[in-house]
Amino acid sequence: MSDTRLRAGEFTLLDSVIEIAKSRCFAIWSEYCERAYQLTEGPTGLSKEEAGKKLLSVPRLEIGLEAGLKRIGLGPRLESTPNYMYKPGKLGALEDEIGKRVVDALKSGCHGVIKGYTSYSLDEQVAPPTLITPKALLDALNSGDLELRNGIKLSSVRLVMAEPVAPATPPPAVAPAPAPDVTAQAVAPQKYRSATDPTIHQKLMPVFEAARAEGDKISAREAAKRVRPQLNVDGYDASIRHIEQLGLQPQYKSVRRPPGATRPSKRRRRRAS
């Protein structure tokens, strides 16, 4: 028998097929093992699964032949085995179903692929699951040679288990963008409506009177600097120079500081007092 042991690990092709059968059709495999166990000749000490494994390794032509079964330590115990248990036809049907389930599993790609060598290449070739028949797979368990549907024969076949799929690596965390520096951003200038002269006059008189009430008259220039922000609050704007020109009009003469006069500082006023 050819060496069909897996290069990585201790499983043979037979072991691998049995493992797939146990996961895909456990009830069928259990019944097959039970029938194989009933064929055990004498106190061999084999478990049911060991008996099933031995029987599965027998070439199909030898099943039912007492010599073939004895070659691997099995033989019909006709005096104690129920007739319904020892039926080569039933055993063959179970084997066919096991082979079919295993081939279907290989087609799904979840249990690896079968590889072997052809006579024209030194490189190991993959056996396409669609070209594997259940009968050819079962025959390979004994001979180590797998004949595909297209006539190509692979020798020293083995099952290469599917590589576990590594979990997807999450993309590297992207550092959050720094918060925009509001103070560094240029503030878009607000669009103001041009203030009419009556609107400016409405702001000028209260500004002059408020300064006089505090005991200190202000010039038209200073009044203009105080009026402009008030206009902006209301959505209007005017130049300082234009506001100043309006503040120099006669109606404000009594409430404004005369042009050219300077406002005494608090220190000078304290000294004068």
Whole-model pTM: value is 0.50
Across the chain, the runs of DSSP E, i.e. the strands, are 113-117, 125-127, 146-147, 153-160, 193-194, 236-237
φ, ψ of residue 147 in degrees (nearest 5): -100, 125
Length of the chain: 273
Locate the domains of the chain by residue range. 13-160, 193-263
Which pLDDT does position 26 carry in this prediction? 92
Query: What is the identity of the amino acid at 272?
Result: A
Question: What is the token pair recorded at 146?
Answer: 């797998």
The helices-and-strands tally (H runs, E runs) of the chain is: 10, 6
- Rounded mean pLDDT for each run of 10 residues along the chain, 273 residues in total: 39 86 90 80 70 78 52 51 51 86 87 86 86 89 87 88 62 70 53 92 91 88 93 92 93 84 53 52
Residue 184 is predicted with a pLDDT of: 47
N-term to C-term CA, the chain: 129
Q: Residue 237 has what pLDDT?
A: 94
Q: What span, in angstroms and rounded, lies between the C-alpha atoms of 266 and 273?
A: 11
**Token pair for residue 231?**
């206009």
> What pLDDT does 12 receive?
84
- Write down the pLDDT at residue 2: 38
pLDDT of 135 reads 87
pLDDT at 73: 56
pLDDT given at position 72: 55
What is d(CA 111, CA 39) in angstroms, rounded to the nearest whole number? 31
pLDDT at 103: 92
Strand order in 113-117's β-sheet?
125-127, 113-117, 153-160, 146-147
Query: What pLDDT score was predicted for residue 201?
Result: 92
Give the Cα separation of 230 and 201 in Å (integer). 12
Q: Contact at 8 Å (CB) between 228 and 190? A: no
8 A C-beta contact, residue 131 and residue 148: yes
Among 160, 176, 233, CA closest to 199: 233
Which amino acid, one-letter code, is at 127?
A
